Amino acid sequence: MIGNLTAGSLSSMYVAPSTNMDYLVVAGGGGGGWKAGAGGAGGLRSTVTATGGGGVLESALTLALSTNYTVTVGAGGAGATYPNNVTGYSGVDSIFSTITSAGGGGGGSDTDTPTNRRNGVNGGSGGGTCGGGFSGGVGGTGTTNQGFGGGVNKTTSPYNGGGGGGAGVAGDNGSAGGNGGNGVAVSISGSSTYYAGGGGAGADSGTAGSGGSGGGGAGTTAYSGNGTAGTANLGGGGGGGGIVGNGGNGGSGVVILRYLTSFGTITIGAGLTGSTATDGSYKVSTITAGTGNVSWA
């Protein structure tokens, strides 16, 4: 007995120390289509500087010591390969604890059946419509507070595709060159870096779309050319391929965590690849691949 309390009751009253955890969670970007829709960027959620989709900054999470928290870094989606009757593949979601960012939507390909495979795919940011000379194409939609939609194709020659949406801006329509939408700049790691740019669309001729700031891959005008891949760990969308070329792969995402150095030492568990640096009174842990748990002690 300790005063009026037993040792057991003291144990039951113990509350593990906690901290407010800032985060940036970027999903994998979508793959580009062939002829010539571009992939959308991975969804972006952040508590620092800016978040995706023009939304309000996310709220920091309250985390405790000696507790496992799930992390998944989403892979980029594969680009469509000519002449397969598919859109570009969507990126994979990234996860930290209760926060999920949606993978970017794939870009449309010039496939005749079914018609919806010409359209961009919905995602964190939406993919762009393919560059065929048809009307009524639809760009993929973005996810609220994560990213913007993809652009639509130009219906007269040259048949430019629609640019992939970015975390900061929608993808351009083919009539404007099919550029990918820009991502957003986030300073969670101590320097300002753009993440989650949309892929640029391919074009029959003239100028293909450029990738958006934040790792978006460029499109191509080459007849059998391939779209450029989105940048790894930025969540960029893949660029649109040529008439008989392949779409670029989407770039993988990233999870970055910022917390006070006094909180404790992070353990990055098996299955995850990451590193930790010190930025003044904060530590910044950057996780670049895998699925597993993190904890602090």
pLDDT, tens only, 30-53: 999 998 999 999 999 999 999 999
Q: For 162-220, how does the pLDDT look when each residue is reduced to its tens digit (9 = 90+)? A: 999 999 999 999 987 799 999 999 999 999 999 999 999 998 877 899 999 999 999 99
Token digits for 121? 């795919």
pLDDT at 135: 80
Q: Is the pLDDT of residue 273 over 60?
A: yes
Distance between CA atoms of 216 and 238, rounded to whole angstroms?
Answer: 6
pLDDT at 113: 62
Q: For 13-32, how does the pLDDT look when each residue is reduced to its tens digit (9 = 90+)? A: 344 456 899 999 999 999 99
Distance between CA atoms of 173 and 129, rounded to whole angstroms?
Answer: 9
Q: Is the pLDDT of residue 1 over 90?
A: no
pLDDT at 115: 64
Q: How many CB atoms neighbour CB 166 within 10 A?
A: 44
pTM, to two decimals = 0.93
Residue 11 phi/psi, 5° resolution? -60, -40
Domain boundaries, the chain: 19-297
Token digits for 138? 């639809």
Q: What mean pLDDT is predicted for residues 2-16?
A: 41
Residue 151 phi/psi, 5° resolution? -85, 170
Distance between CA atoms of 59 and 75, rounded to whole angstroms?
Answer: 25
pLDDT at 8: 43
Q: Do 104 and 125 meet the contact criterion of CB atoms below 8 Å apart?
A: yes
pLDDT at 69: 98
Distance between CA atoms of 119 and 139, rounded to whole angstroms?
Answer: 6
DSSP for 143-170 reads PTTT--PPP---SSSS---PPPP-SSSP
